[in-house]
């Protein structure tokens, strides 16, 4: 059973398309997944349905490596979903790739899931005790099993009954009986948007970038606790839980979403620029130049430069052919990856007093190595500004923050972090400044990774298992 605990943290991108007409949906879903690739690089999959037949394919790897013209060719139909996934190291297994496709009483059903259920272990254990078996260790399989169990002829009722049992942060796209469903958890922790193409096809996606890519217009965010049901007559809204307050994940604004997406009516790039401006307002001192830790720190560094009237300059050249560095299991491995990923433009920094802006500090690995390299290359002073509050608490709802043990802000004060990373000064945003920069009502954002105030009661133990591998 412990094995199962490794698989709890999943960062994912999801998409669904509903068309009244039979068409070659494969390439459309492929394109949408490419635009959501930043949400998960470990596996990718597509399922397309037409008149009782579900085509699906999934494998480990980037979307562009998993799919090609040839294997996309059979993906014809009128409704389809896609998924890209990143999870913790231990669970890099093909059997956990999505969409999940199962046969049940009413034919074939497919599900793609972004997020994390906090009572997955308990429900899974109960179902196993009752004699059910599972083929994956992903908590998404629990949802699909529950829907199948509760199905008595009406898919919507079955979905509602299943969702009443699960707790956590999730966005789902689901194909049942030829209809497409888009669902957001009762707190709206994970994002999901609805749009429509010029031809009239409906699109559900984790982020608006997928709508832009498919030249679809944005209709609206799927609401918290809402089930959007799409069929030939259009889209229909149903609610399964209206009792919880909105708690959109604040970390989507900090790091996770693409800057060209809009979340809850806010453009993510503009929010990040604003966060940088607020950082600058807190500095009386002037520095020679401001630079970003690429790519995640760029918009906030630009905001800092505008507000403080400081020259914005590139200090790092990023090697485009190296992937994300976050997943390397060892500290030495992560440091080496960082050197491979970023090289320093020495001529720009020698003798200079620099401000470096990044979006967040998680373990402190990135900045510690960066500052070491900057000083070695001749920087006179390195001042660090972070466009979010310190991350002192693990996420239980679908962002891959490590256990508290590895979170530097859980174990050190700001002064101690400053010393550890070797910065001449270090400042984070306060929670209030962060909320001001995002521009949404404070109580509509989940800030649990900064404050430890979780929107729901979270288990004490699961992180211990989830992140021991780090």
CA distance 438 to 440: 6
Check if the beta carbon of residue 367 is closer than 8 Å to that of residue 421. Answer: yes
Is residue 298 at the binding interface for ligand 5GP, with CB under 6 A as the rule? Answer: no
- 143-147 long-range contacts (CB < 8 A, ≥24 apart) are 143/111, 143/113, 143/117, 143/170, 143/172, 144/100, 144/102, 144/109, 144/111, 147/104, 147/109, 147/111, 147/174, 147/176
CA distance 384 to 12: 30
Buried b (16+ CB within 10 A) or exposed e, 236-257: eeeebeeeeebbbbbbbbbbbb
Is residue 326 at the binding interface for ligand 5GP, with CB under 6 A as the rule? Answer: yes
Is residue 293 at the binding interface for ligand 5GP, with CB under 6 A as the rule? Answer: yes
The listed partner (ligand 5GP, Mg ion, none) that binds 226, CB under 5 to 8 Å by sort, is none
Q: Looking at residues 46 to 85 of the shown chain, list those that interact with ligand 5GP (rule: CB under 6 A).
A: none
Q: E strands of 268-360, at which residues? A: 289-292, 316-318, 342-344, 353-358
Q: Looking at residues 145 to 184 of the shown chain, list those that interact with ligand 5GP (rule: CB under 6 A).
A: none
Q: Looking at residues 293 to 352 of the shown chain, list those that interact with Mg ion (rule: CB under 5 A).
A: 296
Is residue 301 at the binding interface for ligand 5GP, with CB under 6 A as the rule? Answer: no
Q: Looking at residues 263 to 302 of the shown chain, list those that interact with Mg ion (rule: CB under 5 A).
A: 296
DSSP annotation of 58 reads E
CA distance 180 to 115: 19
Q: Looking at residues 390 to 409 of the shown chain, list those that interact with ligand 5GP (rule: CB under 6 A).
A: 399-400
Q: How far is CA 179 from CA 8, 61, 78, 131, 409, in A?
A: 28, 29, 10, 30, 45
Minimum distance of ligand 5GP from residue 11's CB (angstroms): 6
- By CB under 6 A, name the one of 118, 359, 374, 431 that touches ligand 5GP: 359
Is residue 192 at the binding interface for ligand 5GP, with CB under 6 A as the rule? Answer: no
Minimum distance of Mg ion from residue 296's CB (angstroms): 3
Minimum distance of ligand 5GP from residue 309's CB (angstroms): 25
Q: Of 12, 84, 249, 395, which is the active-site residue?
A: 12
Please say if 12 is a catalytic residue: yes
Minimum distance of ligand 5GP from residue 51's CB (angstroms): 40
Q: How far is CA 32 from CA 35, 61, 196, 204, in A?
A: 5, 16, 13, 10
Is residue 247 at the binding interface for ligand 5GP, with CB under 6 A as the rule? Answer: no
Minimum distance of ligand 5GP from residue 14's CB (angstroms): 17
The listed partner (Mg ion, ligand 5GP, none) that binds 255, CB under 5 to 8 Å by sort, is ligand 5GP
Is residue 361 at the binding interface for ligand 5GP, with CB under 6 A as the rule? Answer: yes
Specify the residue, 17 or 362, whose C-beta has the smaller distance to ligand 5GP: 362
Catalytic residues, by residue number, are 12
Give me the residues that bind Mg ion (CB under 5 A), please.
296
């Amino acid at each position: 059973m412990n094995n199962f605990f490794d698989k709890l943290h999943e960062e994912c991108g999801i998409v669904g398309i509903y068309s009244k007409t039979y068409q070659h949906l494969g390439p459309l879903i492929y394109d949408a997944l490419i635009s959501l690739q930043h949400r998960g690089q470990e596996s990718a999959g597509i399922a397309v349905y037409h008149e009782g037949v579900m085509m699906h394919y999934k494998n480990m790897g980037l979307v562009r490596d998993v799919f090609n013209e040839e294997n996309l060719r059979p993906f014809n139909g009128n409704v389809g979903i896609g998924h890209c996934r990143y999870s913790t190291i231990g669970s890099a297994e093909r059997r956990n790739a999505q969409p999940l496709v199962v046969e049940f009483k009413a034919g074939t059903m497919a599900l793609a899931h972004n997020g994390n259920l906090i009572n997955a272990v308990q429900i899974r254990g109960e179902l196993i005790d009752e004699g059910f078996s599972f083929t994956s260790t992903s908590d998404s399989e629990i949802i699909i099993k529950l829907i199948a169990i509760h199905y008595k002829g009406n898919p919507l009722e079955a979905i509602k009954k299943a969702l009443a049992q699960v707790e956590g942060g999730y966005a789902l796209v689901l194909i049942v009986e030829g209809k497409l469903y888009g669902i957001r958890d009762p707190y709206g922790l994970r994002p999901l948007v609805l749009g429509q193409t010029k031809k009239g096809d409906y699109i559900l996606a984790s982020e608006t970038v997928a709508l832009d890519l498919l030249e679809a217009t944005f209709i609206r965010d799927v609401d918290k606790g809402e089930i959007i049901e799409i069929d030939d007559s259009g889209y229909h809204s149903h609610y399964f839980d209206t009792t919880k307050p909105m708690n959109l994940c604040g970390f989507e604004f900090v790091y996770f979403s693409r800057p060209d997406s809009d979340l809850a009516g806010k453009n993510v790039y503009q929010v990040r620029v604003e966060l940088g401006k607020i950082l600058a307002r807190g500095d009386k001192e002037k520095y020679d130049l401001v630079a970003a830790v690429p790519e995640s720190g760029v918009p906030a560094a630009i905001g800092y430069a505008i507000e403080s009237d400081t020259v914005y300059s590139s200090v790092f050249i990023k090697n485009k052919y190296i992937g994300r560095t976050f997943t390397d299991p060892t500290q030495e491995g992560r440091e080496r990856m960082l050197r491979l990923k970023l090289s320093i433009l020495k001529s720009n920094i020698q003798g200079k007093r620099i401000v470096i802006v990044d979006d967040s500090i998680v373990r402190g690995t990135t900045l510690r190595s960066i500052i070491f390299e900057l000083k070695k290359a001749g920087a006179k002073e390195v001042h660090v500004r972070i466009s979010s509050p310190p991350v002192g608490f693990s996420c239980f709802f679908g962002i891959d923050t490590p256990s508290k043990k590895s979170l530097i802000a859980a174990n050190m004060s700001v002064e101690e972090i400053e010393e550890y990373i070797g910065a001449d000064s270090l400042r984070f945003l306060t929670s209030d400044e962060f909320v001001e920069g995002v521009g949404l009502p404070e109580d509509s954002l989940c800030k649990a990774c900064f404050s430890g105030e979780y929107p729901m009661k979270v288990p004490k133990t699961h992180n211990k298992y989830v992140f021991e591998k780090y």
